[in-house]
Every structure is written in structure tokens, then in C-alpha cells.
Structure 1
Amino acid sequence: MATGKRTPKSGKSKKFSLKMALSCFQLTPLKTQRLNLSCKDFDSVPKCIEELSSFQELDLSRNRIREIPTFTAIFFSITVLDLHSNQLEELPASLGRLQNLLVLNVCNNRLRSLPGELGQLRNLQTLNLALNQLDALPASIVGLKELRYVGLSDNRFTHFPGCLRRLKKLEKVNMAGNPILIHQNPEVAPGSFLLVQKSLLCENCLERCQSFRRKMEKEEAEEVESCFL
């Protein structure tokens, strides 16, 4: 049987047409338009979607995308961007132009750092960064004044990011699965580190949290000070 060189297959994202993209529109329960491109085996973001602008939610989750192209910054109207479970190693600075974004999900990728422009997302309420390789947040995160939830679980944080303390509307921070404070506080279980707004806690739980917080603040004084500079 004769053998020869195989012709490399072109990525599915390159074969993805505008007509195919139009068939992926969905109407959400809130009556907004979602472009659902999840589970398409894309290795890049299809360029054809650049011609679309009538959607408020973009779902590119569960693909093999390694890079977010700059043209995605033209989607000024989107409020939800879901990129979880891809192979992203960095986020573009142009992401900061998405001023209407309310939800950004980039969990389960390969991120080691975040661009400072992330702090320009003034209306962002939910930020999911879980299951990456992060050990710090950019100081610009203090610009996210509307942020309610931050998912930081299963990363490489050894301390609570002090800059999050300046976000007055922040209600919950999930840091489960990080090596946080274990060497200073061996009684703290690494798999159950969850911070919530005090108004959501009962009196007994609040007393316990405040006691632990005083201990944590003492150990993190240097980090908090540097984040405020």
C-alpha cells in the first residue's frame, strides 16, 4: 500500500462561514441575543463574526483557542463574554474597550498574568479567573467599581490580593484550591477559602471571619500597602 504525506487539515475556525455563524444565534431568557460558538473545536476565533454586531452575549467556551484577536474589541455592545475551557495564555489589552461588559469568564485556561487594561471594564460585575496559573492581580483591578464576584479558585495565590479590599461592592471572592496562607495558618483548609460580604453572614460566622481577617491583615500588610501605591 502506497503511503504519502498527509495534507494538514485546516482548522475548523477557518472553514466556519458567516452563514454558519448566523445559525448559532440564540435568544436568552432575558430576551438578549447570544452567539453560541461553544464546543466547535475552534483553534482560533472565526474572523467571519467580525461582520456581526447584533448580539449581546458571545460564547466561545470549550474550544482550543489560544489567542483572542484584536477585532473582538469592536463588539462594543456585548455584556457577556465566555471564554472558559480554552488554551489562552494571555488576554489582549484591547479587551479593555468592551465598556458594556458585565460578565467575563476566562476560567480553565493557561493564564499566568492579566493585562492592566482589565481595570478599564468599569461596568464589570462578574469576573471568573478560576483554574489558571495566576499568582497576582494587576493593581488596576481597583478600577472595577461595580464588581460583585471574583473567582480565583485553583490558581497559585499565596496571599489574598489586597487590592480587592478597595472594591466596595464586592460580595464574594472564591479562592478555594490556592496555597494561600497555609504556611502561616496551617489550620486553614486550602480547599475551602471563600470570602463574602459581611452583610451576607450570620452573627456567629461574622465574628469568626473578623477574627481571621485581623490575623490575615497583619500578615499581608506589606502586600496591601504596595497594591495601594
Structure 2
Amino acid sequence: MPKGKGAKGTKVTLQTAKKAVRITQDGRRRLTLSKMGIITFPQCLFKLTNVDELDLSRNLIQKLPENIGSFSSLRWLDLHSNKLESLPESIGNLVGLTHLNLSNNDLTSAGLPYSLGSLTNLKSLNLGLNQLDTLPPSMAGLDNLKELGLFDNRFTKLPEFVKELRNLNKVNTRRNPLSYAQGESEETLKEKSEPEEEVYLVHESSLCRKCFKRCKEQNEGFSRGGGGGGGDGDMCEEKRMRTYKGLMVPNSVAAVNQDVWRIRKVEHMQVK
């Protein structure tokens, strides 16, 4: 059993926490205590009043302390992949928060406090992978919210206020039992939702002029049954790759699919 870890989980001391603080590239003080087997929120953290970002993700925390709202310096809080079933009302006192990640917990709608609507500086809120079927109506006041994660929950219908959040431009509602008989509101939300693509290719518009010209020549040469136009030159990593109209150079995820397309293309030409 690791040192400091017992039936009550890993014990985090103030000294341990201080040593774990790092300065981010933008000058913020981040405390990372992820994947440490922590069960109880370390009370010693409240003495670190100058910490801007706190990462307690991938632990076993079941409950946040009632005085969590006194951690007023926080701007970024990551609690994803814990065992949380509810949030204390005082979380609404963390008015400086811009990013809050609560995904992959055991949160229910009854466990979300009305005070969530007080976090008016939030830009990103992730509530995915929980047991939610509705949201507190107070969240209609989150005017600065840009990204909202609601994936893998139990929503059959989303609150009307979601489509009214004026700065919201990304909503992830995948894998919910949503009813599509919501008329215009559903269409409005759909426009903001993330695309369902799982294969990503570099579009021709993303290439520099030289690379685009080379890829185009290669594509035309392949269409004529040749090996592709142009020599090696100083072309980027895209050289020697099979290309198709509008879609240039697959990444590693799409490589297998691209090979399948190439084989089919060659077989089609041989049949002719």
C-alpha cells in the first residue's frame, strides 16, 4: 500500500500541496492532485489562498466541503472522474470561476444547487457523464457561458433557457434520450452542437499554396492512373499521400479508411 494511503484514501498535507503547485504559461498558480486516490477533500488546501487553478480529477472524492465557496481565488476547477453525487450550495460563491469540469461523477439533478446560476463568469461548464435530466433554472443567468457539456446523461428535453444563452456556441448533447419533437428550439440547439464526425481530414483550404498545388497535381495524376505529379521537393509531411477532392492528407485515425478508398479506386479503374 502506498505511503500515506489507507482505508480513508491518500492523505494530502499542506507541505505536499505546496510542492505540487506549478506556474502556468499565463502566470497562474496551478495545483494538480490528480490520480492520487483521494477520498476526502483536503482541508489544508484552504490555506493556499493564492492558488488560481485546482485539479482534483480522477480521484474518489464523494463530497465537497460546505465551505468550498471560501476558496475564492479559484478561476479553474477540475473535479472530473470522482464520486460526487451532489454539490454544496456554497459553490455559488466561487464567482471568479471561468472553467468548471464536473464530468464523469454521479451527479443527479436534485444534487445541483440553485447557486450554480451565480457563477456568471463561467465560460466552460462540463456536466457530461452524470445522471442529469434537468438543470437549475438559475443557470439562465450564465451569460458568459461559451461551452456546455451535457453528453451521456438522461435528458429527454433540454431546458428552454439553453438556447437563449447569448454567448453559447458549443453544446455537446450526445448520447441522451432526447426527444426531437422540440420544434425550432431543437434546431437552434443543433446548430450549436458539436459535429458528429469521428474521422478528421485536413481540408484543402488549410494547406499552404505550395502544398495545395502539389496535392492537386498528385490527385490529378492518380485520377489518370499515374503515380501522382511532382517530385519530392520541399513539400510538407503531406507528400506522397493519396488525396481526394476536398480532403487532403488523412491523420493517423483516418489512415486505414484512406487505404480502403485507395484500393477501391484502383479496383474500379482495373475493371474499366
User: What TM-score, normalized to structure 1?
Assistant: 0.75
Q: CA deviation at 1:160?
A: 2.4
Paired position in structure 2 for 1:158:
156
Which has more radius of gyration?
A: 2
- Structure ranking higher on relative contact order (CA contacts 8 Å, 6+ apart): 1
Query: In 1, distance between residues paired with 2:192 and 2:158?
Result: 13
Calculate the aligned-residue CA RMSD, in Å: 1.9
Alignment correspondent of 2:30:
34
The 3-state SS of whatever aligns with 2:26 is coil
Match of 2:171 among 170, 173, 177: 173
Which residue matches 1:117? 115
Matched residue, 2:69: 73
Query: What is the aligned-residue identity percentage?
Result: 43
What displacement does 1:48 show? 1.1
Q: Distance in 1 between matches of 2:157 and 2:7?
A: 44
Amino acid at match of 1:78: L
TM-score normalised by structure 2 residue count? 0.63
1:11 corresponds in structure 2 to 8
In the TM superposition, residue 163 of structure 1 has moved relative to its aligned partner by 1.4
8 Å contact 1:172–1:194 — kept in the other structure? no
For 1:160 and 1:89, the matched residues in 2 are separated by 21
**d(CA) in 2 for partners of 1:44, 1:150:** 27
Alignment partner of 2:143 out of 131, 137, 145? 145
Q: Distance in 2 between matches of 1:195 and 1:38?
A: 35
The C-alpha deviation readout for 1:101-148, integer Å capped at 9, x for no partner, is: 000100000011111100000111100000000000111011111100
Partner residue of 2:18 out of 16, 22, 29 = 22
Moved over 3 A (4+): none
Residues 57-87 of structure 1: per-residue CA shift (max 9 Å, x gap): 0111000000010232111121101000000
Gaps of at least 5 residues in structure 1 are 1-7, 186-192, 198-229
Aligned with residue 60 of structure 1, among 46, 56, 71: 56
CA distance in 2, matches of 1:66, 1:195: 36
What's the secondary structure of 2:6's corresponding residue?
Answer: coil
Q: Distance in 2 between matches of 1:60 and 1:194?
A: 32
Structure 1 residue 10 displacement after superposition: 4.3
Q: Secondary structure at the match of 2:96?
A: coil
- More displaced, 54-63 or 165-174? 165-174
Q: What 5-or-longer segments of structure 2 have no aligned partner?
A: 183-188, 194-272
